Structure 1
């Protein structure tokens, strides 16, 4: 029993060390003007429950807790966790996420590693805050938003989509394995950098900024310091979404989040 306790403590310490390394290693993605610096302006330390979040779960057996600095999400089916504050202006959103085996309630999908997914700049077609939905993935098809699915479909795809608000979900970029692959998955098969690893924390950084003629990039998603997806404004691309709401999105999975932070440029 002593050996088992030591092993568990060692594993927990290794996980926390990995989280600290992720959080401390990455500089901000924001390019601030002279006299300004990237600063944390909002976020959640996950010690006060879900007061800053709105939960939409397809299955009532889903368990979501925020305590001790950890947001723990265990769900047998579709689930969206919406940050209650609208995001707009130039910002960077960052957090550390760890994928763990899906709970037993997921039935045939129990134990899988899957679906570290994000919605951002989500609005109803008329620009309002997304109305409550039942947590099923298809119920969000009518929204305008960007969607990134990391290790989705049982860790077989990592994709970026644009939702137009008309029901169209355009696949912009991605990787996919085997039967999941489509011609739009132009990066080819999944790689170690795009796949989730059980118990391995990853730092995600999401940049949103107003594009300029000199720099048309208006969004970038970075995983452990390596860019996954970049969105650029152009004549043949949809008008950039610049405001809206953020959600953690997943299904038949277990995820743990730490250090949820919103950064913006502020005067030094």
Structure 2
């Protein structure tokens, strides 16, 4: 097992590309923690591409301490993301608005989306306006949503045909993909929220 990146090297500004819908969005890096405070859509791409089999892990907190964007919503991520033609997402900067990412080929998870009402997994197919959602990948039970001011551990897995999302040791989603996405970029995603991210690791085997 080759540990490609540890938290110390990931939690620095030069490791990331920011796409923010609002100039008021703030992303700060301090003491190994990434703080994302945004009134609109924002995607934070790790600059280094990854290849399967890979596991991306991090701890996240939805901050609710009275700030303007502390609404507890949208702990989201893309992984194995490419342009529809297979090119790098970093060669085509986007506005940060959610719809701007519809044309990617990628896996996506949204934990606590729609104002902390849904948790969903999608396999984007590179077609604008088309974000397929299977019924079993649309959750809304309280245990599947965000809790304010509590750290939660997320694992994003692309292991060849098996694609999965785990949270605090529990499997949220599993997809047996006959045509898996095997390489690309991964990024953290949110909208109108305040998140903190720490202990990020990317492990390739």
Whether TM exceeds 0.5 here: the answer is yes
Indicate the residue corresponding to 2:112 in structure 1: 151
> Matches of 2:11 and 2:143 in 1, distance apart?
33
Shift of 1:193: 2.2
Secondary structure in 2 matching 1:51 = helix
Larger radius of gyration: 1
Mark the CA change 1:204 to 1:261 in structure 2 (over 3 Å): closer, same or farther.
same
SS of residue paired to 2:147: coil
1:114 match: 73
Structure 1 runs of 4+ off > 6 angstroms? none
TM-score (norm 2): 0.91
**Number of equivalent positions:** 202
Equivalent pair of 1:46/1:70 in contact (CA under 8 Å): no
2:163–2:177 Cα contact (<8 Å) kept: no
Distance 2:100 2:136 in 1: 22
Partner of 1:255: 195
Relative to total residues, which structure has the larger strand share, 1 or 2? 2
Unaligned runs of 5+ in 1: 1-37, 176-184, 212-217
* Cα RMSD (Å): 1.9
Cα offset, 1:41, TM superposition: 2.3
- CA-to-partner distance for each residue in 1:90-138, whole Å, 9 max, x for gaps? 1111111011138755xxxx43110000111111111111110110111
> What is the rounded CA distance, in whole Å, between the counterparts of 2:108 and 2:66 in structure 1?
24
Structure 1 counterpart of 2:146: 196
User: For structure 2, which runs of at least 5 residues remain unmatched after alignment?
Assistant: none
8 Å contact 2:11–2:33 — kept in the other structure? no
Cα 1:122/1:264, change in 2 over 3 Å = closer
CA distance in 2, matches of 1:93, 1:204: 8
The whole-number CA distance in structure 1 between the counterparts of 2:11 and 2:201 is: 15
Superposition TM-score, scaled by structure 1 size:
0.71
